[in-house]
Amino acid sequence: MQEISGELFQSPDVEAARAFFRDKPRAMVDKRMSVPQAVETFINHGDYIAAGGFGSVRIPTAVLHEIVRRRYRNLGFCGHSSTHDFQILADGGVLDRCDISYIVGLEMRGLSPHGRRLVESGALRTTEWSNAGLGWRYKAAAMGVPFLPVRVMLGTDTEAHSAAREITCPFTGQKLLAVPALFPDVAIIHVHQADIYGNAHIEGIHIVDRDLARAAKRLIITTERIIDTESFRRRPETTTIPYWLVDAVCLVPGGSYPAEMPFEYTSDEPHLAAWVEAERDPAALRAFLERQIYQTGSFEEYLALNGGETRLAELRAAEPLKRPDCNPTEG
């Protein structure tokens, strides 16, 4: 049996989670609010948070900026295939612990210099998982079970640096790995459209966001547009996230910028490259964050600073993906 050294940052206690969800309001009420209101209401210092999307695709940039702008501290984060979302939070100094499967790599953009400094120095406490392992942890939480038995990571260095546990199957005697349920305190998911109550639709692949929405104790939705509820009633199969899981709905057109929002706009590669370049020197990074986040009073001001609607129009024109037929705004 392999020795395992990773720290378990969130309790997989299903009964405690059930007690929380039992008291969570499920009323079909208007949940619209601004991003600052949602962050102030639902995120506390020390919380463990998770972001939807994948890599630099469909991430909730507007909320992540607000977390940094408000100078939160001692947050935990689930780094499930995270790139620019982790980069924002790490550069802003709001994290002290992180479950990681992919965080420092920025895909074709190289490595995050500041993220690498944090991990290598030990300033950020980390526990390692595979992408699938973290996804199964959300799945376990969504199912309401304390763990799932899996084969991923068995016998690897990733297992050794995880907080999983080797178990024996009671039916076959085979060795398996128990990955614990992950219940984030808060999840933030950016979607293509939502109604005022929180019913939400994601176009294209969902990654783990269906399970994340069900695993999180509190859920903030940011959306490109708000549509009427009848659109969901006409085509209920297009409801990716149902309203009773959602605590806040924030209308943020362009809310994933500078990342890509499939079928809406592509990523702003020059801006992302400038972010990486600023990270190479701590003083330059501080100046970059001061200009881009702290001195902008809102995400809208940040967008305006970087070209605003003109730049978004260019990125919309450059987005290669065409809309699928499952758009609930249609018939």
**pLDDT tens for each residue of 26-46:** 999 999 999 999 999 999 999
Interacting residues of 75 by C-beta distance below 8 A, sequence separation 6+: 45, 46, 47, 48, 49, 67, 89, 94, 95, 96
pLDDT at 24 over 50: yes
pLDDT confidence tier of residue 104, bands split at 50, 70 and 90: confident
Q: What is the pLDDT of residues 43-84, one digit of tens each?
A: 999 999 999 999 999 999 999 999 999 999 999 999 999 999
Q: Which amino acid is at 32?
A: R
pLDDT at 297 over 60: yes
Q: What is the pLDDT of residues 233-245, one digit of tens each?
A: 999 999 999 999 9
Cα 176 to Cα 155: distance, rounded to the nearest angstrom: 10
Specify the pTM: 0.96
pLDDT confidence tier of residue 328, bands split at 50, 70 and 90: low
Q: What is the pLDDT of residues 252-292, one digit of tens each?
A: 999 999 999 999 999 999 999 999 999 999 999 999 999 99
pLDDT confidence tier of residue 331, bands split at 50, 70 and 90: very low
Q: Give the C-alpha distances (Å, rounded to integers) separating 331 from 200, 231, 234, 242.
A: 17, 8, 8, 20
For the chain, what percent of residues have pLDDT higher than 70?
98
**How many other C-beta atoms can be found within 10 angstroms of the C-beta atom of residue 58?**
29
Signed CA dihedral, 247, 200, 60, 69: sign only? negative
Determine the pLDDT at residue 329.
54
Residue ranges and CATH numbers for the domains of the chain are 46-134+182-318 (3.40.1080.10)
pLDDT at 86 over 80: yes
Structural contact between residues 226 and 328, judged by C-beta atoms closer than 8 angstroms: no
Mean pLDDT of the chain: 95
pLDDT confidence tier of residue 1, bands split at 50, 70 and 90: confident
